[in-house]
Amino acid sequence: MIYINLIYMPRQNSSKYAILGLLTIEPMSGYDIRKFVQNVLSNFWNESYGRIYPILGQLAKEASVTARLHKQKGKPDRRVYHITDRGRQVLRGWLLMPSQPIQIRNETTLKFLLGGNLTIEESLVPIQRLHEQQVHAKQALAAQVREIESETGGSARYEYFFLTARLGQLLNEARIQWCQEVFARLQPRKRSTKRRGNR
């Protein structure tokens, strides 16, 4: 295939900038980044080792970060990455660009929409699971908010961390409420309508 007018323009590699951005919070190793993403950002971001390590190498080659080796006793060496001024410039350029529209693929919701192909009981199973999960997440989010509030009372970053956690809370509450509405509307008439050919 020949590209004459345009070079193949992939949706940009946001992992690269995400990792760069996390290094402005604190210098981190690849392992730290993974942990941070899993523990703190999992509500709206994810990264796998398979991306993190190659990207850190690439960023170092571009002089957007510098690596410092921290030797440890009893544990493997840590390669801690620090963002450079050049890295901050690159990051700033990305931060100011309009965000890529989110490509959402929420299997649970799609399956629920197609619930007409199942019995009501079958359709409710994943929603019960979702409800439990979201109620559990509610605790974790509240703890996170308390931690942020206690940590850095007046820092510039504080507001952004707090408000991001707040978004998580609001979405969490919305999902819990939805589950309750589903239970209220779908439970009562328990006619096991396993009708398939509905046209």
Residue (of 113, 107, 108, 106) closest to 126 by Cα position: 108
Residue (of 137, 118, 153) closest to 44 by Cα position: 137
Instruction: Report the residue from 17, 22, 23, 30 that binds DNA according to the rule CB under 7 A.
Output: 30
Residue 41 as a binder of its own copies (CB under 8 A): the answer is: yes
Residue (of 196, 14, 150, 147) closest to 90 by Cα position: 14
Instruction: Report the residue from 20, 22, 47, 127 that binds DNA according to the rule CB under 7 A.
Output: 47
Long-range contacts of residues 92-97, Cβ cutoff 8 Å, at least 24 apart: 94/17, 94/20, 94/21, 95/17, 95/21
Instruction: Report the residue from 112, 131, 137, 148 that binds its own copies according to the rule CB under 8 A.
Output: 112
CB 130 within 8 A of CB 179: yes
At which residue do the structure tokens 């507001």 appear? 159
Applying CB under 8 A, the residues found at the interface with its own copies are 14, 18, 21, 24-25, 41, 43-46, 88, 91-92, 94-96, 98-100, 102-118, 122-123, 126, 129, 155-157, 159-161, 163-164, 166-167, 170-171, 173-175, 177-178, 181-182, 185-186, 193, 195-196, 198
Applying CB under 7 A, the residues found at the interface with DNA are 1, 3-6, 8-15, 29-32, 35, 46-51, 53-54, 56-57, 72, 74-80, 103, 105
